[in-house]
């Protein structure tokens, strides 16, 4: 099995496009074959495949050698994270040779922690090169650094409930005199952008500081995008670890969980279309897919709120998830999490069998609760689902913290679920 370390995976994934690229390269290194949605698929039981959409979502599947349509094990997660997206067309030069670029808030980002940091730029760009040819390139430029400066507390009471206005207060400032200079710094030397006016980007600010391990035994990791790269890493690890599953296994890495739906998201036809094509390529009939789904279980993998020692009033201690005690099952009476009793019982048995720690979490009855794509896929496919995730501190912050051992245990549970 060829797999990057957790820290390497985190550092190589400053955007959903980059995490998808790392997943793609890892799958190729582990004998998965890349399929094209535009072409006819010819599939062989016992082989491994994957398909990419929008360069930000990817579906991988390992066909069972025997009876590949007799039910499946499905694990899903998301590749995107809350961030600040650059609005390049609104860039304005400032005095002193500086460039101000406004941002749009992507997802439910914690705003204050983005200010006064060294920020780099990551995403993808479309532009015409010096020969006039259209280029689409990933952008990850650690040398292109900017910041969003705070006002001093003498002028604004930042600790007294001040609320940032994204339109007025969050423009990033870069040390470039013009947008053309900024674009030239982003584009590679072998494909220089001919004109900044032709440059279009899906570019996001990212934390310039890499992942950091903490503790004498590296017990904790702090990094950007642990929500939800920890889940991506765990599912990827499991996909590479299971050689010949008894049931067909699928790993789905979806974009846009933080904001809604589009053609590459969990609510799109990406998963259903892929399943239908698998059935067709393996000689199934009109009843094959419904029968397959009737014997399929979905594992929705997304991070959970870890018990916070500084804010214990937001947690119900008996049903709280503690860092270092394993991933956690997630329950919610109003179905923000899709866990059912039978699916939870199955995952508990799997964890017990391999002696992996597994906690249980439910939010306070008088508190707020996030949600996952588990209920979206459970509804669209009609499959029982269980929500599980690694507990983390500071969810949606620019840097989040989790236990390294929890990520390892989660990958082991998913691999046993697949096997």
Query: Could you report the per-residue pLDDT of 353-393, keeping only the tens digit for each?
Result: 999 999 999 999 998 888 999 999 999 999 999 999 999 99
Q: How far is CA 79 from CA 58, 59, 230, 246, in A?
A: 9, 12, 10, 28
Q: What share of the chain is helix, strand, coil (3-state, %, to 5)?
A: 30, 30, 45
Contact 249, 418 (CB under 8 A): yes
Mean pLDDT, all residues of the chain: 95
Measured CA to CA, the distance from residue 183 to residue 24 in angstroms comes to 27
Q: What is the mean pLDDT of residues 95-112?
A: 97
Q: Using pLDDT thresholds of 50, 70 and 90, give the confidence band for residue 336.
A: very high
Q: What is residue 135's predicted lDDT score, i.e. its pLDDT?
A: 84
Among residues of the chain, what percentage have pLDDT more than 70? 100
The dihedral sign for the CA sequence 208, 213, 215, 219: positive
Among residues of the chain, what percentage have pLDDT more than 90? 90
Structure tokens at 199: 């440059």
Domains, in order of start, for the chain: 6-81+224-418 (3.40.630.10), 83-207 (2.30.250.10)
Q: Above 70 in pLDDT, residue 408?
A: yes
Q: Above 70 in pLDDT, residue 326?
A: yes
Q: What is residue 208's predicted lDDT score, i.e. its pLDDT?
A: 96
Q: Above 90 in pLDDT, residue 188?
A: no
Q: What is residue 142's predicted lDDT score, i.e. its pLDDT?
A: 86
Q: How far is CA 39 from CA 24, 34, 35, 293, 346, in A?
A: 19, 11, 8, 25, 37
Q: Using pLDDT thresholds of 50, 70 and 90, give the confidence band for residue 279.
A: very high
Which residues are 224's β-sheet partners? none
Which residues are 301's β-sheet partners? 388
In this structure, how many other beta carbons lie within 10 angstroms of the beta carbon of residue 392?
A: 25
In this structure, how many other beta carbons lie within 10 angstroms of the beta carbon of residue 176?
A: 20
**For residue 399, with 0-12 CB atoms within 10 Å meaning exposed, 13-18 middle and 19 or more buried, which class applies?**
middle
pLDDT greater at residue 408 or residue 243: 408
Q: What is residue 190's predicted lDDT score, i.e. its pLDDT?
A: 67
List pLDDT tens digits, range 16-57: 999 999 999 999 999 999 999 999 999 999 999 999 999 999
């Amino acid at each position: 099995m060829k797999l990057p370390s957790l820290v390497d995976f985190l550092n190589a994934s400053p955007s959903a496009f980059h995490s998808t690229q790392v997943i793609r390269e890892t799958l190729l290194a582990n004998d998965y074959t890349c399929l094209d949605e535009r072409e006819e698929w010819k599939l062989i039981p016992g082989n491994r495949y994957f398909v990419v959409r929008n360069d930000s979502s990817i579906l991988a599947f390992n066909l069972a050698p025997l009876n590949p349509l007799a039910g499946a094990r499905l694990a899903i997660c998301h590749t995107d994270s809350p961030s600040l997206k650059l609005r390049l067309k609104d860039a304005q030069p400032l005095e002193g040779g500086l460039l101000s670029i406004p941002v749009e808030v992507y997802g439910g980002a914690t705003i204050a922690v983005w200010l006064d940091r060294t920020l780099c730029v990551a995403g993808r760009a479309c532009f015409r090169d010096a020969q006039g040819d259209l280029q689409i390139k990933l952008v990850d430029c650690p040398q292109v650094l900017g910041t969003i400066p705070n006002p001093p507390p003498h002028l604004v009471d930042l600790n007294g409930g001040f609320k940032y206005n994204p339109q007025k207060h969050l423009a990033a400032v870069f040390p470039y005199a013009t947008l053309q200079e900024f674009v030239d710094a982003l584009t590679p030397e072998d494909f220089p952008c001919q004109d900044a006016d032709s440059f279009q980007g899906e570019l996001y600010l990212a934390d310039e500081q890499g992942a950091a391990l903490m503790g004498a035994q590296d017990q904790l990791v702090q990094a950007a995008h642990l929500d939800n790269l920890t889940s991506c890493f765990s599912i990827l690890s499991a996909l590479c670890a299971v050689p010949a599953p008894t049931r067909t296994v699928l790993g789905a890495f979806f974009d846009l969980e933080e904001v809604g739906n589009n053609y590459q998201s969990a609510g799109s036809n990406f998963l259903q279309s892929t399943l239908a094509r698998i059935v067709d390529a393996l000689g199934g009939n009109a009843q094959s897919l419904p029968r397959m789904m009737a014997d399929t279980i979905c594992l929705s993998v997304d991070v959970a709120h870890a018990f916070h020692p500084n804010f214990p009033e937001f947690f119900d201690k008996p049903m709280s998830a503690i860092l270092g005690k394993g991933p956690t099952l997630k329950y919610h009476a109003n179905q923000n999490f899709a866990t059912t009793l039978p699916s939870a019982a199955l995952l508990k048995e799997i964890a017990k069998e391999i002696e992996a720690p597994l906690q249980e979490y439910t939010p306070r009855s008088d508190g707020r609760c996030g949600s996952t794509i588990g209920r979206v896929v459970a509804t669209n496919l009609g499959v029982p689902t269980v929500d599980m995730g690694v507990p983390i501190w500071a969810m949606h912050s620019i840097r989040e913290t989790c236990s390294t051992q929890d990520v390892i245990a989660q990958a082991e549970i998913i691999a046993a679920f697949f096997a």
